Structure 1
Amino acid sequence: MNIQLIIPIYKPDNKFLDLLRQIKKQTIKNISLLIIDSGSNDKYKNEIKDMNCLVKKIDAKTFNHGGTRQMGADMFPDKDIYIYLTQDAILADEYAINNIVKVFDNDNIGCAYGRQLPHKGATIFAIHARLFNYKNKSYIYTIKDKEKYGMKTAFNSNSFAAYRRKALKDVGGFPTDTILSEDMYVTAKMLLKNWSVAYCAEAKVYHSHNYTIWQEFKRYFDIGVFHAREEWIREVFGKAEGEGINFVISEVKMLIKNNPLLLFDMFFRDAMKFLGYRLGIKEKYISVYIKQKISMNKKFWNERINNEKNKI
């Protein structure tokens, strides 16, 4: 199977160097790698000297979560499988790439994503988020599973995800105008086209974020904006709030067992996430200038702010 590894980067830290070293240790050797660099100090250049690697430099202003990933795929139209990693996701062992590729032996799999484990030094909240969202058992979802699993059916994560070229083409590729969650957008489209999505627990990466409460608020605001603008996903797969309730219940149980003193912190944190999400859902009633201030992805609003200025 002809595979292409694609990693967009922007000012990466040492985790990216660790990722490159892990790629070289994979059981699949000499993997074709594309690095889409929208801003770095090039400190990774020594690490890629002995790799089958192409570096594509782009202006940071032109970076787009979905569009840049699609550009990477378009550069390699002869590949069967595109595997995307983020710069801060470190392959956990030498079998990670091979394990996610094997999933595509099933001809109906349109996309797959791997298991995320918390980085060393992750907070208890970051650890719980990874354990809740990424179980140790693999599964395959089809469109029929939406009745039981709701929006979870269309879950995906481009921190470590793979897409079949034929399926990606079938849904028109990655979207170019989403604030984030281009992975969920594509997955939902594939499910509606009767492709299946696989979660491969055997394909593992270390990836987590120690977000502050304010960062959590901003991220969930952006998620709300995505769901508001892609309302069809909620209409087809159901609202996200149900999964959120399950998350909170699981979090309470975990803290009671491990650190009950953090329960107040947890409730405040989760309340801010919920507030951020609900504001995002209602974003059409909020000034674009305020939206940029409370968004994690501020660049998404730049063009919209310029449009507002041109109207004046």
Structure 2
Amino acid sequence: MKLIKLRISVIIPTLNGANDLSKLLNQIKVQTTEIDEVIVIDSQSTDDTVQKALQLGAKVLQIPKHDFDHGGTRNFAAKKAIGDILVFMTQDAVPYNNHTIENLLLPLANPETIVSYGRQIPKPGTKITDQFLRLYNYPQQSLTKDKKDINAMGIKTFQNSNVCAAYRRLEFNKLGGFPNPVVSNEDMLFAAKAIMAGYKVVYAADALVLHSHNYSYINLFKRYFDIAASLEHEPIIKNVGRAEAKGYDFLIEQFKFLRENNRFLAIFQASLEAIFKYAGYKLGEKNNCIPMGLKKYLGLNKNYWDRQLRNKC
């Protein structure tokens, strides 16, 4: 199967992303791989996201903001796409160079590989704790993962990324696409499903994309609340290894990194971040015991919890 003959669709969910979208779409235009279409699926932006997308040649799909779902919205756009390969990106990501998509697609030449995801490079101005997060989760060496790696890698076997990832459409559809509804982690949940079905997932370290966050402590709490709640969709992830163990390893390596770079004040910051992450994650694990109306204040994805509450009523 030669990728050069396959059609490529890039899918980007957006909400008030005008400030970032121009950079992303312009960089997609100069990729060495020909892109057959770019689909922007917008959730009622109040800025000029839609206008910029249209001006730069993207197809635009629009949905009500309250209908956005990390899995369902991407599945909807995938059904409208013409591509044999589906590349999902986020509005705040920018290809690092003009080879990003080309390098992202190369692993899909192996028919056993269903998805490949790229390496995230922190943007200028990113706080050092998030810089380390990108270094830790996205190293310089590429990696192919399948079911035989679960014993050694545990939960990291299923790492994936919605920031920049390419999927074989046929196999993506065969496995039912992303879980829906889902509050977070649709990428990781799909990777778990794919690996358990016998497919491979590839981390393509040469597919570079600029992406990072500067989350506040409160938003870190909310993000990890949603992450823990999302794992209820795929118990296999929790069964192969406790996320806390990987969290401890991450924290130890982060402290070493900060100490080696003489960022001693940042060690205090990293400790506070760890407390908020852990508290959010542990509470998220118990989300079934929390009143539905309260969850939208505890999680980052407020629309998801609002929708769950409406469906319950």
Instruction: Please give the alpha-carbon distance, in whole angstroms, between the structure 2 residues aligned to 1:202 and 1:211.
Output: 26
- 2:203 maps to 1:199: yes
Identify which of 53, 71, 76 aligns with 1:66: 71
How many correspondences in the alignment?
Answer: 306
Gaps of 5+ in 2: 1-5
TM-aligned CA deviation for residue 292 of structure 1: 1.5
TM-aligned CA deviation for residue 307 of structure 1: 5.2
Instruction: Please give the alpha-carbon distance, in whole angstroms, between the structure 2 residues aligned to 1:289 and 1:114.
Output: 37
Instruction: Please give the alpha-carbon distance, in whole angstroms, between the structure 2 residues aligned to 1:43 and 1:136.
Output: 33
Identify which of 10, 13, 20 aligns with 1:15: 20
Could you tell me which residue of structure 2 aligns to residue 131 of structure 1?
135
**CA deviation vs aligned residue, 1:75-108 (integer Å, no higher than 9, x gap):** 13x5321000000001100000111111111111
- 2:144 maps to 1:140: yes
Cα distance, 1:292–1:205 mapped onto 2, change above 3 Å: same
Aligned pairs (5 A) from 1:169-248 = 169-235=173-239, 237-248=240-251
Give the secondary-structure state (helix, strand or coil) at the position aligned to 1:56. strand
Could you tell me which residue of structure 2 aligns to residue 32 of structure 1?
37
Amino acid at match of 2:21: F
Cα distance, 1:2–1:300 mapped onto 2, change above 3 Å: same
Instruction: Please give the alpha-carbon distance, in whole angstroms, between the structure 1 residues aligned to 2:53 and 2:226.
Output: 34
Cα distance, 1:281–1:229 mapped onto 2, change above 3 Å: farther
The answer (yes or no) to whether the contact 2:18–2:52 under 8 Å persists in 1 is: no
Instruction: Please give the alpha-carbon distance, in whole angstroms, between the structure 2 residues aligned to 1:254 and 1:66.
Output: 35
The answer (yes or no) to whether the contact 1:167–1:195 under 8 Å persists in 2 is: no
**CA deviation vs aligned residue, 1:244-296 (integer Å, no higher than 9, x gap):** 11100111101112211222222121011111101101112222222211110
Aligned pairs (5 A) from 1:237-276 = 237-258=240-261, 259-276=263-280
The answer (yes or no) to whether the contact 1:292–1:298 under 8 Å persists in 2 is: yes
Cα distance, 1:288–1:144 mapped onto 2, change above 3 Å: same
Gaps of 5+ in 1: none
The answer (yes or no) to whether the contact 2:160–2:187 under 8 Å persists in 1 is: yes
TM-score by length of 1: 0.93
- 2:60 maps to 1:55: yes
- 2:48 maps to 1:42: yes
Instruction: Please give the alpha-carbon distance, in whole angstroms, between the structure 2 residues aligned to 1:206 and 1:304.
Output: 33
Instruction: Please give the alpha-carbon distance, in whole angstroms, between the structure 2 residues aligned to 1:276 and 1:238.
Output: 19
Identify which of 266, 276, 281 aligns with 1:277: 281
Could you tell me which residue of structure 2 aligns to residue 299 of structure 1?
303
Segment drifting more, 153-162 vs 252-261: 252-261
Amino acid at match of 1:279: L
Give the secondary-structure state (helix, strand or coil) at the position aligned to 1:292. helix
Instruction: Please give the alpha-carbon distance, in whole angstroms, between the structure 1 residues aligned to 2:279 and 2:295.
Output: 14
Amino acid at match of 2:127: T
The answer (yes or no) to whether the contact 2:128–2:266 under 8 Å persists in 1 is: no
Identify which of 155, 160, 163 aligns with 1:156: 160
Instruction: Please give the alpha-carbon distance, in whole angstroms, between the structure 2 residues aligned to 1:45 and 1:79.
Output: 24
**CA deviation vs aligned residue, 1:8-50 (integer Å, no higher than 9, x gap):** 1111042211111101111123541111111233356356546
Instruction: Please give the alpha-carbon distance, in whole angstroms, between the structure 1 residues aligned to 2:179 and 2:166.
Output: 16
Amino acid at match of 1:247: F
Amino acid at match of 2:51: K
Could you tell me which residue of structure 1 aligns to residue 3 of structure 2?
none
**CA deviation vs aligned residue, 1:198-228 (integer Å, no higher than 9, x gap):** 0000101111100111111110111111123
Identify which of 88, 93, 113 aligns with 1:84: 88
